[in-house]
Structures are given as C-alpha cells and as structure tokens.
C-alpha cells in the first residue's frame, strides 16, 4: 500500500503516454524537426548568426570549451562549465517534461542558483533545444531514448531514464558537490542554507506521517514491512567517500533488482541507504522544509501550520501528467504561464 503510494511519484510518468494526444505528439515531432534544422543551420552556416553561437552576458573565453556539436559534449565538460564553488545542480528530463523543467528553473532562478544547473537530456530534441536557448547547460549521456521510447514511460526505456541518477557518482568522482532534483519540484527558498554541517548525503523522507518539528536527522527506522521511504527525488551529496559508496551501492542495487523495481529507482536507493548505514554520514532534512507532496498538498491544516518553513515542494503522490500540472496550477506553483521570462530558457513555445 505505502509502496504503491510512494511509487506514484514515479508511476505518474506512465500515464503520460495515454494522455498525450495526437496533436501534442505531432507538434513535438514538428518541434524536433525545427530544432534539428536549426542545429544543421548552426553547424553549417555559423555566419548567419544562429542563436547557437550567440552567448549573451558571457565572455567569449568561457565558451571556448563548448563543442560545435552538442553530441560531443560530455558530463565532465558540462560540470566544468557550470560549476560554482565546486557545486552543480543536476536533473534529468525527457521532451514531454520540458514544461516542468522550465517551471522548476524559474523557481531555481529566483534563488539565484540557475547558473549551476546541468540538465541531463534523455533525448536529442531536448539536448538541442536547451543548448540552443541556454548553451552549455544540457548534456546527453548515451544511449538516448529515441523519440518513440521517450513517450513510452514504464517501458525498459523508462527504466533507463530513472536509473540514470547514478551518473551522480561520476560527478562526485570529479570532486563536485552534487544536488539532484526531480523536475516536478518548486523551490520556495534557497535549499543550500539548510544543508547544515558537512555530512556525506542529505535527503528527504517520502512518508506522509507528520513528525515533530525537531525530528531526528538520522535515517528513520524501517516500517513494519522492514523498509524506509526516503525519496530519491532530492539528494545532496558531498564528494566524500561515504557519498561515493552510497552511489556505488545504489547502482549495485539497481542492477541486482532491475525487474523487481520496474523503473522506480527509489526502493534501490533505500536499500543502498540501509546497507551503507554504518559507513555513510547521513542527514535527513526537515520535513517541514522538504515535505513530500503527499503531505503538503493533501493536508491543508499542516501546510498552514508550517507556512513559511517550506523550502522545496515536490509534486508527487499524484498520478498523471495533467493532474500534476493542474495541482501546481491550483496551488499557485505553476509559474511558466506568467513568469517564463524568469527562466534562462524563456518561453518554450
Ligand atoms: C523534541 O522536543 C520535545 C519537546 O520539547 C522533546 O521531548 C523531544 O525529546 C525532542 N526531540 C528531539 C529528537 O530532539
Ligand atoms: C535495514 O533493513 C533491515 C531489514 O528490513 C532492518 O531490520 C534494519 O533495521 C535496517 N537498518 C537500518 C539502519 O535501517
Ligand atoms: C493534518 O495535519 C494536522 C495538523 O498537523 C494533523 O493534526 C492532522 O492529523 C493531519 N491530518 C491527517 C489526515 O494526517
């Protein structure tokens, strides 16, 4: 039961395919063609001043390391390009979720952390679109989802999509602090000021049970099924041995249980936390600051009581792309309609 509830944050993707209507699909195919065309023009006709080669507000030297074809752009290059104070913020996104990416980016920009963002694009259309509008901020780690697979969430393709989170290990090995976020989130405050101390890994609880404000920052005890419900949706890691060990264990667990987890990387993350508990310095973030969507959106009384304490809102515990979008709308957290200009990507139309 609880298992089903928490995995809804991931299952939500699977109903997208049903909901995408033909017109949206064909619009996206058209967009993909347009993006490819622009890229071709940018590669072959640089003198036309394609936006690919115009980099406002940056000295040209900081762009000299950028490739002329984004296919060749690697995660280490992207990290080097965006990192500030040794920190990068990472998300993964496929084409249908670009509106959510943009919504999240607006909220990240309001906290002045957008410069550190690396988008791991799941398909080439996404890679090209983002880098065209915001050069250097998207990278694709092959294999890409083809445009068909990108829509078939719940498929093996989708499993690869969610299991990419362990790419965070590569960034740790390169020495960066890494914040990972799902894009169905909105920042209301700067989360970095809540990453107190110098622990290896920071994460949030996906359980809806209300805890006292002064709850422990230790890994919560397993429930009666013997499992914990830590969210793999928002993780902050310092490039220390403990964090690397946790990521290695997560990868192992994903590989060992790929069938059982059916595209959801969260159970594997919880087993990794369980098995590395004595070797990793963990820090559970405050529930009031980082509530699960199952609490924030479903208990108005609680949300009112803890008003002003919320830092990142996660739009999970809901199934369906349209429902998710509507819920952000209803709670005043759908920012892209009126504030797209605050996103480094601008309006995505
Ligand atoms: C939280 O506060 C209550 C009441 O002040 C106290 O009894 C409890 O021990 C505190 N819990 C923690 C984990 O500090
Ligand atoms: C790890 O999981 C086992 C089995 O559910 C449980 O008994 C144990 O308490 C867990 N350890 C931690 C640190 O959560
Ligand atoms: C909602 O939150 C209030 C205030 O924290 C709490 O007393 C109540 O039990 C919660 N309701 C549910 C259904 O969890």
Cβ < 6 A, ligand 3 pocket: 210, 299, 301-302, 305
Residue closest via CA to ligand 1's atom 3 equals: 214
Higher pLDDT, 46 or 76: 76
* Least-confidence region, from 12-16, 236-240, 311-315: 12-16
What's the half-sphere exposure (Cβ side, CA atoms, 13 Å) at 308?
1
Q: Which atom of ligand 1 is nearest to the CA of 216?
A: 13
CA distance 278 to 297: 34
Ligand closest to Cα of 216 equals: 1
Mean pLDDT of 231-236: 95
Query: Residue 22, preceding bond cis, omega within 30 degrees?
Result: no
The reported pLDDT for the residue numbered 110 is 98
Mean pLDDT of 199-225: 97
Give the contacts of 165 (CB within 8 A, at least 6 positions apart).
Answer: 92, 180, 232, 235, 250, 265, 269
Q: The domain 2-48+67-342 is classified under which CATH number: 3.90.550.10, 3.30.565.10, 3.40.50.970, 3.90.1490.10? A: 3.90.550.10
The reported pLDDT for the residue numbered 143 is 79
Distance 291 CA to ligand 2 centre (A): 23
pTM of the model: 0.82
CA distance 319 to 8: 6
Q: Which atom of ligand 2 is nearest to the CA of 221?
A: 14
> Residue ranges per domain, the chain?
2-48+67-342
The reported pLDDT for the residue numbered 330 is 98
Higher pLDDT, 118 or 251: 118
Whether 172 shows a pLDDT value over 90: the answer reads: yes
Mutate to test the pocket of ligand 2, among 222, 224, 267, 271 (most ligand atoms within 8 A of CB): 222
Question: Percentage of residues in the chain with pLDDT exceeding 90?
Answer: 66
Q: Which of 5, 67, 324 is nearest to 186 (CA)?
A: 324
What's the pLDDT band for 66 if we cut at 50, 70, 90? Answer: confident
Ligand closest to Cα of 220 equals: 2
């Amino acid at each position: 039961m609880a298992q089903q509830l928490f995995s809804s944050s991931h299952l939500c993707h699977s109903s997208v395919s049903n909901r995408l209507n033909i017109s949206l699909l064909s619009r996206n195919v058209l967009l993909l063609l347009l993006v490819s065309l622009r890229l071709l023009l940018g590669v072959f006709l640089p003198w036309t001043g394609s936006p690919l080669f115009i980099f406002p507000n940056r000295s040209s030297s900081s762009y000299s390391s950028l490739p002329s074809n984004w296919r060749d752009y690697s995660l280490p290059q992207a990290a080097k390009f965006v990192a500030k104070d040794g920190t990068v913020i990472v998300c993964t996104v496929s084409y249908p979720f670009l509106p959510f990416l943009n919504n999240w980016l607006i909220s990240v920009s309001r906290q002045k952390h957008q410069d550190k963002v690396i988008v791991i694009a799941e398909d080439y259309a996404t890679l090209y679109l983002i880098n065209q509008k915001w050069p250097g901020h998207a990278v694709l780690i092959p294999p890409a989802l083809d445009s068909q697979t990108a829509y078939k969430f719940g498929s093996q393709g989708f499993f690869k999509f969610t299991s990419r989170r362990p790419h965070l290990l590569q960034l740790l090995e390169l020495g960066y602090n890494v914040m990972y976020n799902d894009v169905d989130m909105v920042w209301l405050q700067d989360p970095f000021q809540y990453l107190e101390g110098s622990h290896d890994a920071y994460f949030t609880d996906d359980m809806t049970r209300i805890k006292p404000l002064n709850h422990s920052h230790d890994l919560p005890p397993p429930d009666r099924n013997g499992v914990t419900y830590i969210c793999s949706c928002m993780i902050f890691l310092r490039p220390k041995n403990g964090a690397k060990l946790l990521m290695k264990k997560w990868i192992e667990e994903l590989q060992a249980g790929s069938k059982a987890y059916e595209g959801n990387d969260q159970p594997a993350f919880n087993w990794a936390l369980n098995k590395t508990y004595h070797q990793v310095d963990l820090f559970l973030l405050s529930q009031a600051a980082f509530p699960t969507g199952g609490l924030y959106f479903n208990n108005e009384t609680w949300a009112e009581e803890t008003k002003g304490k919320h830092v990142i809102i996660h739009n999970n515990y809901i199934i369906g792309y349209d429902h998710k979008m509507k819920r952000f709308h209803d709670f005043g957290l759908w920012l892209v309609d009126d504030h797209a200009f605050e996103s480094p990507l601008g309006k995505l139309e």
